[in-house]
């Protein structure tokens, strides 16, 4: 149980385009979803927290207009990287938490974004 | 802000040997999570500790949280090649509604 999926697993895009990443909790309802970013050989850094039906809370230094988060249902959150630039190239990982899993955060497999 | 220090940064252990990874927090921990990651992949949940002095085990992995809730250790007994990977400790400042702060990870290599 407690499976979280992400799609796509890898994406390559041109600079200036937008990319959408989906995060789904497959077997539990995620009241809260989190988006993290991981640069090579570094640890995960929290970008934002989203609760179903409400606006996401962004960490300091993360541009909310650049990283659009939508948590439309209890099983789906999306992260859209708008007008992507090469410096946005990174590994994006989501996690989901819910009452059914006693608030433990379960992570998706990650999405590797490469902006050319 | 909370900071987590993991040690060692990397560890090479001969198969069959025991090992310990430490995680120290600058603040009292509400909850301490241990995850395993293979490079470029997602995180696999190992254990969560919340109470001071708590100890949990799963297969050959044991994690402990000290009484003051500022330090945790992860111990692997009789290591196997499948234990290789990056071990991350993560701290919650509140309940599950808070994002986690992670340490930089410990890269474990198991030598046959």
pLDDT tens digits, one per residue of B31-56: 899 999 987 788 999 999 988 999 99
Q: Give B45's contacts in chain A (Cβ within 8 Å).
A: 2, 104-107
How close A22 gets to chain B, by Cα (Å)? 14
pLDDT value at A30 more than 60: yes
Cβ separation B48–A42 shorter than 8 A: no
Pairing of strands B55-58, B4-7: unpaired
The 10s digit of each residue's pLDDT in A37-65 is: 998 888 899 999 998 888 899 999 999 99
pLDDT value at B10 more than 90: yes
Residues 49-108 of B with CB under 8 A from A: 88, 90, 95-105
> Which residue of chain B has the CA closest to A1?
B45
DSSP tag of A59 = P
pLDDT value at B94 more than 80: no
Q: Which of A49, A98, A108 sits opposite B99 (nearest CB)?
A: A49
Q: Give B63's contacts in chain A (Cβ within 8 Å).
A: none
Question: What is the per-residue burial (b if ≥16 Cβ within 10 Å, else e) of A79-114?
Answer: bebeebeeebbbbbbbbbbbeebebbbbbbbbbbbe
Instruction: Label residue A1 by pLDDT band (50, 70, 90).
Output: low
CB A25 within 8 A of CB A71: no
pLDDT at A54: 83
Pairing of strands A32-38, A90-97: antiparallel
């Amino acid at each position: 149980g407690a499976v979280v999926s992400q799609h796509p697993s890898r994406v390559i895009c041109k600079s200036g385009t937008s990319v959408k990443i989906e995060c789904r909790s497959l077997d539990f309802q995620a009241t809260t979803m989190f988006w993290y970013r991981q640069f090579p050989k570094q640890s995960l850094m929290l970008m934002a927290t989203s609760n179903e039906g409400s606006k996401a809370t962004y960490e300091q230094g993360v541009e909310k207009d650049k990283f659009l988060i939508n948590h439309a249902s209890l099983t789906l959150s999306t992260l859209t990287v708008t007008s992507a630039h090469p410096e946005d190239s990174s590994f994006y990982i989501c996690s989901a938490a819910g009452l059914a899993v006693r608030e433990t955060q379960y992570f998706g497999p990650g999405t590797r974004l490469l902006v050319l | 802000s909370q900071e987590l220090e993991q040690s060692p940064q990397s560890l090479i252990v001969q198969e069959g040997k025991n090992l310990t990874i430490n995680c120290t927090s600058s603040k009292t921990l509400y909850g301490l999570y241990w995850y395993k990651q293979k490079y470029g992949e997602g995180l696999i949940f190992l254990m969560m500790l919340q109470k001071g002095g708590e100890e949990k085990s799963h297969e050959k992995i044991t994690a402990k949280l000290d009484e003051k809730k500022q330090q945790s250790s992860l111990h692997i007994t009789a290591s196997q090649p499948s234990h290789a990977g990056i071990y991350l400790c993560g701290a919650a400042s509140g309940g599950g509604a808070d994002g986690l702060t992670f340490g930089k990870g410990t890269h474990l290599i198991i030598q046959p």
